[in-house]
Structure 1
């Protein structure tokens, strides 16, 4: 019988293993504990190994610098690296105690890198945890003071080499390194399990709260709750002010804030979300939940998406601009979903109502009604008080790349405008009439601003379409609505800019109104009747010649240049015009009257000059 044993049965034993075996152990640690806890384990394992080697060296102590030099030899003997290159500076006090130590260096052939790449591939962080722990434990034990290494670059991250930096604990200031130093403190498994349990319990409670919140909103929507009720429910459940914004980030509804407070936060929000860092304006559209930090508050916002389109935003308001909003994300996403369902529930009835309103508007334009009182009553039902002053706006849509005359496009734009203004509690009548979109707009002091917001809203969805509004003067009589339509179209023809108001047109335009349009048209056509009775080509030729000649104040040279005519050709036409009209075109009074008539017909759209 053969027996084997140790000479010193109770002495510390040194075990040897292959790098592949250690690599498998390392792999299991990472997969079972996670990267962070596995790193902490390997750092402590390396520290204890280094500290034990240092205690062996201290049994036969020598000068500090000589004992520190042995760390490299021990590294090489263990097979952890192939080569060590380092530079170290040590400052001692007169009694030989350490005052300061600093070192930089690199490891070549780190076994940890090879094993990590084999099992896990490239890492976003350094991976030589055992080497770092070994050196930190060894030096700290030799000096009797805590010293720590930090791996700066690592082949495991794709760097060319593994480099490190060493300092005393008090010299490390970086937050990331201070967190790593804390990993060296031992923690019991029971503490880890308790921590994990607490985290799971906290997460469970959070999920249950979110689920209860979601269920409550779903029940409200299923019961047909209005948007105001949904917003109030959100506020009461979370005790966080909630607002609803349109696509231009203008607040349409708010719960939990006073008017002045809401206005302050709204301006703060719009400045933060619609400006770049350089201060330039930008037009933003968000399809995911986002957080904005303003000067006076912090806001968490989520898009409201209906049938694949963002129609607005819901926001949670936090007066503390440093507030942590991460735990509110799941709540606001469910709030946005409930609000979207609320809008979707309203969509069918909304579209049906808008179709009724459009048909009613058409009847008003065609005067297909029994009596004014009937019109007023039906207007009340549609949400518009026709006893009050109103404007008619014509929305013109043009594009070089899109068909803007198709009924489907016009209907989509009409619905978008109506929905946008509905969110702002501003009820209007809309319809498509003779290829144009018409809007009946109850009078408001903010008329121009509302039209600007509509244009901005439309441009977000139709970037290659040009939209312009023509706005009539104020009207109080539904029986003259057709003339208001004509005013808005005149404003479009002769006005400039995206919003052309009839009252802001030229002097001639401002003289024409719904009460005298017909009279002016009849008078002008009567005076110019001999020309209008000619064949189309000759008529247009003489009307253009007359207009150019009068605009140029009878200047023959300028008129021939503008008309590309010879002098004899121009003189012939002028003679022919004087003969037809029985007027002297050089007579200032006659010339002024004729020019006024031509301008009027041009504004009314009865004549056009190429």
Structure 2
């Protein structure tokens, strides 16, 4: 084929290459926009390919070449004149039925390289002229319309330009969008369509601006986040939900039905969505299942606060597609929600700082008590009421890095806000301050009365606040009841003493009150606890070893005897034994362990030893 044509003869039927085509292409994209320029370049390339094929048909050598020869030689000629390496990896032709399929690569596409140089990477394939030329040439030779489509392109960041070619009928719906670019429209009609599109966009922009204005005015008039979400649903007539990065509902419009995203989706997809949103920062459409095995189509826009991903605003739809108005509105609404979240966060942080300063003043005795009482009352808290001090000790289980430390601070701040919210839900207020790895909460007795005990209350708070914080290990120490403001400092010391004991205890429990320490609380401490534990083992070690060997329950008998203040009958009733059996066990205790329960000193030593071993987790009483 190369001997049939002279180089200059070939070039007149091929698209211009190099600088000329690059300049023309750049001007078209700049002046006409991507869509119109794409159509022009596709049709231009198609015309060049078709003209070259027609020229070949008038050559004497045409009849002696097979279809496969014509396609391969055509590809070779095109590649050599367009500075292009064309690799055909798959080619199937039936001369009778005119069935056709081919696949291959364009390497070193100048069209792609020039696009990257002038416009950067694209979201879609950009080799318009090459695609059009190949389609025009093959269609004319085959006598059947064949469309080439790039499924990968250097212009959008792929390693090579990878194309597939099939007749229109074989493509089906997959080529529907591309076909519109091959239709040549009269410029007048195109202008009419452009004017129509501009009017439609003006209408959409006007609606978006009106919605944005109403949402902004709501923020200026003091609406909270829930009211903004409700207003958004009213404007777009769709359910709206705002979720944090852990997929928990933060706010939802009235029409959102109570449901949670399925646990499998959270495990497999939600984290990927969070990572993708944090990197790409763009609106997306997803089909998200719920626990009823139903899928909701969601338009999702990420919300960023202080340059950190806070969560997602979603418009929910069962079947219909989302409109351009939906896309524009959700982006405006997510920005306004972000501003409102920032406002509420800033206000909360300011109030929290003030409360921390006042509480710290109470504990350190730096301010006049009357002044503190008055200022806290202005913030809705009565510091003179009976209250407990809850000290949460937070330990990060991960290795410390600067990034993890910053994340830990964010988690601690979120937990403080959660505790405030939980207590406010029961129409009660509290005061909280933070120290390094501690959250110190002053909680009214009135709140703890919703529970069986203050320990039960603390367990509930930990479960509700830290349930999704798997990397945080939490211990909670609770003071005795502080009936006066000046008792709070003592309350903090009590709670911290409990935490010190929990730190060395082998018990699995994470919550303990100072009240449970009894008299031990007065003299036990972190420094002397190992010494006390050693004393207890020296006194009761033989008895505990005997119990383990013979399953005798002597330690339990001793515990109940001490708890009943040495009352033999009460001990027998508690142990559900006869008086004789109980008396026998007490004698065995003296024989095996050498314990002396006949004197007050001996009785006291045994009582202390039992309590120390229980606190340390070395002794378990059924």
| 1:254-276 deviation digits (Å, cap 9, x = unpaired) | 33246xx23x1xx217763x412
Instruction: Say whether the 8 Å CA contact 2:458–2:476 is kept in structure 1.
Output: no
Structure 2 CA distance for aligned equivalents of residues 32 and 409 of structure 1? 48
The reply on whether 1:45 has 2:47 as its aligned counterpart is: no
- Check the 8 A contact 1:151/1:163 in 2, yes or no: yes
- 1:198 corresponds in structure 2 to 196
The Cα shift of 1:53 comes to 6.4
TM value normalised by structure 2? 0.60
**Contact in 1 for aligned 2:391/2:495 (Cα 8 Å):** no
Match of 2:268 among 253, 270, 276: 276
1:551 is the counterpart of 2:540: yes
State the alpha-carbon separation in 1 of the partners of residues 213 and 301 from structure 2.
21
Q: Deviations over 1:166-224 (max 9, x none)?
A: 5433233471x444344322222233333333333333333333333333333333344
CA distance in 2, matches of 1:42, 1:204: 29
Contact kept? 2:240, 2:253, Cα under 8 Å = yes
Take 1:341 and 1:229, find their aligned partners in 2: how far apart are those partners? 16
Partner residue, 1:215: 213
Report what 2:171 is aligned to.
172
Counterpart among 468, 475, 483 of residue 468 in structure 1: 475
Counterpart of 1:135 in structure 2 is 137
Q: Is the 8 A contact 1:304 1:339 kept in 2?
A: no
Is the Cα contact below 8 Å between 2:394 and 2:437 reproduced in 1?
no
Give the aligned length.
Answer: 510
Q: In the superposition, relative to structure 1, how do residues 602 and 381 fare at CA in structure 2: closer, same or farther (>3 Å)?
A: farther
Deviations 1:443-478 (A, max 9, x none): 356863542453468x69xx7x754323569x6967
Instruction: Name the SS of the counterpart of 1:300 in structure 2.
Output: strand
- Aligned counterparts of 2:437 and 2:159: Cα–Cα separation in 1: 69
Deviation at 1:381, TM superposition (A): 6.4
Which residue number corresponds to residue 237 of structure 1?
235
Relative to 1, partners in 2 of residues 1:604 and 1:216: Cα closer, same or farther, differing over 3 Å?
A: same
- Report the equivalent of 1:332: 333
Residue by residue over 1:24-75, the C-alpha shift from the partner in whole angstroms, topping out at 9 and shown as x without a partner, is 4444334433454334323333444555666778899999886967788889
Q: Which residue of 2 aligns with 1:570?
A: none
Q: Is 2:300 the partner of 1:300?
A: yes
Q: Give the distance between the partners of 1:436 and 1:67, measured in 2 at CA.
A: 83
Gap runs ≥5 in structure 1? 1-13, 93-98, 504-508, 526-536, 557-583, 606-610
Flag structure 2 segments of 5+ consecutive residues without an equivalent: 1-11, 290-294, 452-456, 546-591, 617-622
* Structure number, greater radius of gyration: 1
Residue 587 (str. 1) matches residue 595 (str. 2): yes
SS in 1 for 2:542: coil
Secondary structure of 1:597's counterpart equals helix
Quote the Cα distance in structure 1 between the aligned partners of 2:282 and 2:154: 37
Contact kept in structure 1, 2:104 and 2:162, CA below 8 Å: yes
CA distance in 2, matches of 1:329, 1:181: 31
**Is the 1:394–1:485 contact (alpha carbons within 8 Å) kept by the matching residues of 2?**
no
Matched residue SS, 2:184: coil
For the pair 1:89 / 2:81, whether they are aligned, the reply is no
| TM-superposed deviation, 1:286 | 6.7
> What is the distance in 2 between the residues matched to 1:409 and 1:23?
49
Match of 1:597 in 2: 608
Q: Secondary structure in 2 aligned to 1:303?
A: strand
- Conserved? CA contact 2:482–2:491, under 8 Å: no
Q: Is 2:135–2:146's contact at 8 Å kept on the other side of the alignment? A: no
Deviation at 1:380, TM superposition (A): 10
CA distance in 1, matches of 2:33, 2:200: 20
**Do the aligned partners of residues 313 and 61 (structure 1) sit closer, same or farther apart at CA in structure 2, a change above 3 Å counting?**
same
Once the two structures are superposed, the pairs formed by residues 512-551 of structure 1 within 5 Å of their partners are: 513=516, 517=518, 546-551=535-540
Q: Does 1:502 align with 2:512?
A: yes
Between the aligned partners of 1:149 and 1:543, the Cα distance in structure 2 is 85
Contact 1:148–1:169 (8 Å) recurs in 2: yes
TM superposition shift of 1:318: 0.9
Q: Alignment RMSD, CA only?
A: 6.1
Contact 1:275-1:281 within 8 A present in 2 as well: no
Superposed, 1:111-510 pairs within 5 Å as 113-114=109-110, 117=113, 124-126=125-127, 127-139=129-141, 143=143, 145-149=144-148, 167-173=166-172, 175=174, 177-245=175-243, 248-257=246-255, 261-262=257-258, 264=259, 267-268=260-261, 272=265, 274-276=266-268, 287=278, 288=281, 293-295=287-289, 296-297=295-296, 298=298, 300=300, 302-303=302-303, 305-306=305-306, 312-313=310-311, 315-320=313-318, 324=322, 326-343=327-344, 346-347=347-348, 350-351=351-352, 354-355=355-356, 358=359, 362=363, 382=380, 392-397=389-394, 417-423=415-421, 425-426=424-425, 427-431=429-433, 437-441=439-443, 442-443=447-448, 444=450, 448-455=459-466, 467-471=474-478, 486=494, 489-490=497-498, 493-494=501-502, 500-502=510-512
Partner-residue secondary structure (3-state), 1:589: coil
Q: Point out the more displaced range, 354-363 or 315-324.
A: 354-363
- 1:299–1:316 CA contact under 8 A, matched in 2: yes
Alpha-carbon separation, structure 1, partners of 2:303 and 2:412:
22
Q: TM-score, normalised by structure 1?
A: 0.61
Deviations 1:535-557 (A, max 9, x none): xx9x999866533311312799x
Counterpart residue number, 1:4 = none
Contact preservation (8 Å) 1:100, 1:168: no
Is contact 2:53-2:137 (8 Å) kept?
no
Change (3 A) 1:230 1:478: farther
Deviation, structure 1 residue 135: 0.9
